Amino acid sequence: MIPEVFECPRCERQFVIDGIPDTGSEEVHCPQCSRFLGIRDLAFVLRSELDDLSERLTFEKDRLEKDEAVYGLTDCDPELKYYGREVTRIIAVLRKALNELNRLRQEYQSEKS
């Protein structure tokens, strides 16, 4: 998990928390003045990471689907035809990965509820 930086508005002190919460979430207090600053929620962090990863994979899948359509319909070099045939397998892997990521995200969403 990426370390998180917190800043206390009262004493204007910054501090880093890099441990993983034991229970999945924990309250954050300023170590100097003990002011409550919020709650660290591991499920929220994981959902955010899954959203980012899904977005990047969806972008690549869409790009490869366009390549597949272009190289499948046009007359091109043998290397590009081979690429057009093989990209179908890569797209299938990306679709499977995206489905799994969406399933994981739903699990973390239901944990919040």
- Which helix (H) or strand (E) segment holds residue 54: the answer is helix 42-73
pLDDT number for residue 110: 75
Distance CA 64, CA 44 (A): 30
pLDDT number for residue 107: 85
pLDDT, averaged per 10 consecutive residues of the chain (113 residues), comes to 82 85 81 87 81 94 88 75 85 95 85 61
Distance CA 5, CA 93 (A): 36
Distance CA 82, CA 11 (A): 63
Distance CA 102, CA 35 (A): 37
pLDDT number for residue 97: 95
Kindly state the tokens that stand for 6. Answer: 């917190």
